[in-house]
């Protein structure tokens, strides 16, 4: 049974393997799953999403216990583990599926995400504008099993 302190958060930060591994290290994160969100196609496969024609982003869905970890902490992990100034790319990965995006599940998540983005922009940590989209969560399409905990299964903790 789902606890009243259990929440979901969904983030896109380039390839989903690395960002999933980062969130799995956070105390209070109960589970993670990688998948696709934000597009029009129903039940997309990895091959579909790689065409860059579905509108979906590669995302990690984080299930967390808000009594043990705050949404603000998850936002901090998100911002620290990718370049939010990149438009439709992260490192060597190029396409809309690699965009920087926060899919919010509640009005409070939206407010906190927008405030954190604004604070990051004001901090001048990046010389370019923050390109991260903040949009409502849509249907989460779980990626194929071989993508789940991909780095962990291979004894790795980073992609590149």
Q: What count of other Cβ atoms lies within 10 Å of the Cβ of residue 26?
A: 16
The answer to whether 55 touches 48, Cβ cutoff 8 Å, is no
Closest C-alpha to 83, from 29, 27, 19, 35 = 19
**Which 3 state secondary structure label does DSSP give 112?**
helix
143 alpha carbon, distance to own chain's centre = 13
Closest CA to 140 of 31, 24, 1: 31
The answer to whether 11 and 62 are in contact (CB under 8 A) is: yes
How many Cβ atoms from other residues are within 10 Å of residue 69's Cβ?
A: 20
Question: 15, 29, 59, 74: which is the annotated catalytic residue?
Answer: 15
The answer to whether 50 is a known catalytic residue is: no
Q: Which two tokens stand for residue 76?
A: 């901090």
Contact 17, 35 (CB under 8 A): no
Cite the active site residues: 15
């Amino acid at each position: 049974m789902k606890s009243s302190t259990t929440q979901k958060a969904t983030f896109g930060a380039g390839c989903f393997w690395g960002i999933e591994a980062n969130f799995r290290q956070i105390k209070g994160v109960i589970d993670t799953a990688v998948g696709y969100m934000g597009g029009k196609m129903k039940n997309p496969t990895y091959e579909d999403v790689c065409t860059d024609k579905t509108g979906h982003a590669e995302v990690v869905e984080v299930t967390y216990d808000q009594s043990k970890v705050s949404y603000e902490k998850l936002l901090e992990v998100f911002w620290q583990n990718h370049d939010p100034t990149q438009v439709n790319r992260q490192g060597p990965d190029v396409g809309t599926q690699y965009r920087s995006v926060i899919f919010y599940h509640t009005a409070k998540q939206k407010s906190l995400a927008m405030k954190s983005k604004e604070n990051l922009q004001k901090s001048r940590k990046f010389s370019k504008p923050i390109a991260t989209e903040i949009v409502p969560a849509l249907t989460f399409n779980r990626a194929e099993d071989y993508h789940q905990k991909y780095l962990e299964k291979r004894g790795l903790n980073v992609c590149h």
